[in-house]
């Protein structure tokens, strides 16, 4: 089947045109840039130590009128630091090598991540959306296919990939057929890439569906059953904890769905789409297995970690997870509440930790056993859709 040409591409439907406000509604490049310069670069340099393999040269769209679809495996059973750190690394890489964010992949993220402030890192409201994420709904996916300023990044395993458990850490779950349908419809390729060692951010965590059904009711997509869960109860900051796994992102082989079928996208039946999805899943699984063999044998690299800590000791303790709540909260205070721009948090200056703590006393709640969850939960659920939905159901039943 020949690739779609610009003249043959479908125009946006009225519903899509009305939805195009999502392109810029929350995305603030300055927010991401300032966050990266003040916090994420330090965390990446010391704690996560990410590496890109096979991204040079950076993939170019086969169709200049449509975005490439970057597709990755879910790390599973951990707060999605892999998504945060990969995006920040891609951000810096493109600015350094190309001087532009033109080819940056913008993520389609699980709607539950933006449903409550609690699922945003350290209660920063709209964190995911301000960094460029868009809720992964069908309408949003279709709308973003008409976005020409950036590429797209998605996790086609969906929520089952997030909660698959450590025992299935590198087993790709069934891929969403929408990825193939929209790729065929818009004549654009899929660029698979693989996150290696992400499961070691929260190792030996397992998932039980009946528990996940309960946690979804309070806006948490899954509850990892692990020894660290006890730490989360007595030290709330551990809810966002990540162990120092060295993250490696490996580019896979470009997938051209138009070469996998002789039919047009609207001629394929549901079973045919499922068969195509399974074919793509097997190809990605083979490449993922090879990437794990090459880069997944030593997930923590303790000697390298210790060396990075020594090299960056003047930033102590901000590269350690217990200090992240303070760093992110101070960033939010300055950028969001005070409206400051182009600032330096000076994490390397003596006394910065205590000055920040004085200005952000709520951070102490992250260290109060059990009761510390009360003020955090109040802030985490205040004014968000989960609370509104609960009030709506109560009003409907009244």
CA dist., res. 308 & res. 176, Å (int): 39
Strand pairing report for 190-196 and 248-251? antiparallel
Q: How far apart are CA 211 and CA 165, in angstroms?
A: 13
- C-alpha angle with apex 320: 316 to 365, nearest 5 degrees? 105
Give the pLDDT confidence score for residue 76 in this predicted structure: 67
Name the band, by pLDDT with cuts 50, 70 and 90, for residue 9. low
Is residue 348 within 8 A of residue 78, CB to CB? The reply is no
Inter-residue contact 111 to 159 (CB < 8 Å): no
Q: Is 139 exposed, middle or buried (0-12, 13-18, 19+ CB in 10 A)?
A: middle
Give the pLDDT band (50/70/90) at residue 385.
low
pTM: 0.90
Q: Domain 6-304 falls in which CATH fold?
A: Glycerol-3-phosphate (1)-acyltransferase (3.40.1130)
Q: Which of 59, 65, 72 is nearest to 254 (CA)?
A: 59
Asked if residues 206 and 85 have their Cβ atoms less than 8 Å apart, the reply is no
**Region at 196 (left for phi over 0; alpha for psi -120 to 50; beta for the rest):** beta
The per-residue pLDDT for range 281-307, each reduced to its tens digit, is 999 999 999 999 999 999 999 999 999
Cβ(154)–Cβ(216) below 8 Å: no
Domain spans, the chain: 6-304
Output the six-digit token pair for 308.
């990075």
CA dihedral 247, 316, 132, 81 (to 10 degrees): 40
Pairwise CA distance, residues 119 & 116, whole Å: 6
Tokens of 347: 């994490």
Is residue 167 within 8 Å of residue 46, measured between CB atoms? no
Alpha-carbon span 130 to 133, nearest angstrom: 7
Task: Quote the pLDDT of residue 309.
Answer: 98
Distance set, CA 144 to CA 67, 68, 105, 148 (Å): 8, 11, 11, 8
Note the pLDDT tens digit of each residue in 185-211: 999 999 999 999 999 999 998 877 777
Q: Supply the pLDDT for residue 110.
A: 85
Confidence of residue 78 (pLDDT cuts 50, 70, 90): confident
The string of pLDDT tens digits covering residues 291-350 is 999 999 999 999 999 999 999 999 999 999 999 999 999 999 999 999 999 999 999 999
Strand partners, 135: 109
Taking a C-beta distance cutoff of 8 angstroms, is the pair 125, 336 a contact?
yes
Task: Identify the three-state secondary structure at position 179.
Answer: helix
């Amino acid at each position: 089947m020949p690739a779609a040409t610009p003249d043959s591409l479908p125009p946006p439907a009225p519903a899509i045109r009305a939805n195009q406000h999502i392109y810029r509604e929350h995305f603030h490049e300055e927010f991401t840039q300032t966050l990266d310069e003040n916090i994420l670069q330090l965390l990446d340099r010391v704690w996560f130590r990410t590496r890109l393999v096979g991204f040079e040269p950076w993939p170019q769209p086969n169709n200049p009128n449509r975005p490439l679809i970057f597709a990755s495996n879910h790390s599973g059973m951990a707060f999605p630091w892999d998504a945060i750190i990969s995006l920040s690394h891609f951000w810096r890489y493109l600015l350094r090598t190309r001087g532009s964010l033109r080819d940056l992949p913008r993520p389609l993220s699980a709607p539950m991540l933006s449903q409550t402030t609690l699922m945003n890192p350290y209660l920063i409201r709209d964190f995911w959306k301000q960094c460029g994420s868009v809720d992964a709904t069908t309408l949003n996916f279709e709308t973003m296919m008409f976005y020409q300023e950036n590429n797209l990044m998605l996790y086609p395993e969906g929520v089952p990939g997030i909660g698959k458990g450590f025992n299935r850490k590198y087993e790709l779950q069934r891929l969403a057929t929408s990825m193939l349908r929209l790729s065929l419809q818009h004549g654009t390729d899929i660029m698979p890439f693989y996150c290696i060692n992400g499961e070691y951010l929260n190792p030996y965590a397992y998932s039980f569906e009946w528990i996940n059904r309960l946690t979804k009711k309070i806006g948490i997509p899954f509850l990892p059953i692990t020894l660290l869960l006890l730490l989360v109860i007595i030290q709330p900051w551990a809810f966002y904890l990540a162990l120092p796994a060295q993250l490696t992102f490996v580019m896979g082989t470009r997938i051209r769905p138009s070469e996998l079928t002789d039919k047009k996208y609207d001629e394929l039946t549901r079973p045919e789409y499922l068969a195509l999805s399974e074919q793509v899943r097997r190809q990605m699984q083979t490449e993922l297995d090879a990437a794990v063999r090459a880069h997944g044998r030593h997930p923590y690299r303790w000697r390298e970690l210790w060396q990075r800590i020594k090299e960056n000791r003047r930033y102590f303790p901000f590269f350690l997870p217990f200090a992240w709540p303070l760093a992110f909260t101070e960033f939010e205070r300055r950028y969001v509440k005070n409206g400051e721009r182009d600032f330096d948090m000076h994490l390397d200056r003596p006394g910065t930790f205590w000055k920040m703590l004085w200005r952000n006393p709520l951070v102490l709640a992250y260290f109060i056993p059990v009761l510390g969850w009360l003020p955090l939960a109040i802030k985490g659920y205040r004014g968000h859709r989960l609370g509104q939905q609960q009030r709506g159901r109560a009003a409907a039943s009244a």
